[in-house]
Amino acid sequence: MTAGLRVVSLSKSYGDPPVPALDEIDFASPSGSFTAVVGASGSGKSTLLRIIGGLTVASSGQVTMDGLAPDELRRRKAVGWMAQRPALLPWRRVIDNVTLAQSINPRPRTLPDPDQLLSMVGLAEAALAYPGELSGGMQQRAALARTLAIGAPLWLMDEPFSSLDELTRETLADDLLDIWASATPTVVWVTHHIPEAVSLADRLLVFTPRPGRIAGLVEVDLPRPRDATSGAFQSVVREARQLLRGAPRAEVVA
């Protein structure tokens, strides 16, 4: 068995005649690592997450997480999802949204305590509120608590902060990193916001525009919490931006 997430020669086409959305994606993420996938709209980022999570079938190639295929991961409820919109049930209080996720996802492993989760995401005071009574940032915090509630070893995050303002995004990112450090899941984080990816991830996979191919891999070898104003941070941002714009690797390094 190979530990961590492995994606091998993964391709996906949609439609008839088939139009490629992902072309020969290869990468490996060690257990407990944080990988960001960065690319333009339409470059296949969501498709990649859906294939990893077992919601879409690949046209060719393989995905395994700790040796398990996506349909098996799905069956074992080993995947925590988070999307751009919080999708909370509006008629249930915040705490009930979290406990409901646990009750419809029964599994043998020990689940985190819902009250503790709400404290971790800074929503202890809002446990009894309804989602409609919360700000966008608080709703996304509640969605994060719900994702964490199932204790999944793999988190697939599809632009979860993209509807948030800069300040909310930054504070939530700090909290998220603390939670990640204590829960140590393997994370694949999709974003089109390069500084966000550089502040969070161990490495960035930069995708080409459609069809998505890996334009390059950028390692972020900076201690956390990261200072976005430092020269080292900005040089990583620049490297990723150049890859995104299609510069050949040699030009990036020069």
Give the binding site for ligand ADP (CB under 6 A). Answer: 14-15, 21, 39, 41-47, 210
State whether residue 13 is helix, strand or coil.
strand
To Mg ion, the closest distance from the beta carbon of 49 in angstroms equals 8
Strand runs labelled E in 15-123 = 19-29, 34-38, 60-65, 79-82
195 binds, among Mg ion, ligand ADP, none (CB under 5 to 8 A by kind): none
State whether residue 120 is helix, strand or coil.
helix
To Mg ion, the closest distance from the beta carbon of 46 in angstroms equals 3
Taking the least distance from each CB to Mg ion, the nearer of 46 and 208 is: 46
199 binds, among Mg ion, ligand ADP, none (CB under 5 to 8 A by kind): none
208 binds Mg ion (CB under 5 A): no
To ligand ADP, the closest distance from the beta carbon of 161 in angstroms equals 15
Cα–Cα dist 105/150, whole Å: 7
210 binds, among Mg ion, ligand ADP, none (CB under 5 to 8 A by kind): ligand ADP
Rg (CA), the chain: 18
Cα–Cα dist 226/84, whole Å: 24
To ligand ADP, the closest distance from the beta carbon of 42 in angstroms equals 4
97 binds Mg ion (CB under 5 A): no
Cα–Cα dist 38/41, whole Å: 10
35 binds Mg ion (CB under 5 A): no
Residue identified by tokens 């008839």 is 16
To ligand ADP, the closest distance from the beta carbon of 145 in angstroms equals 25
Return the H-helix or E-strand segment holding 219.
strand 214-219
User: Of the candidates 11, 29, 35, 46, which one interacts with Mg ion according to CB under 5 A?
Assistant: 46
Taking the least distance from each CB to ligand ADP, the nearer of 48 and 164 is: 48
Q: How far is CA 51 from CA 87, 170, 237, in A?
A: 21, 29, 28
Which positions lie near Mg ion, rule CB under 5 A? 45-46
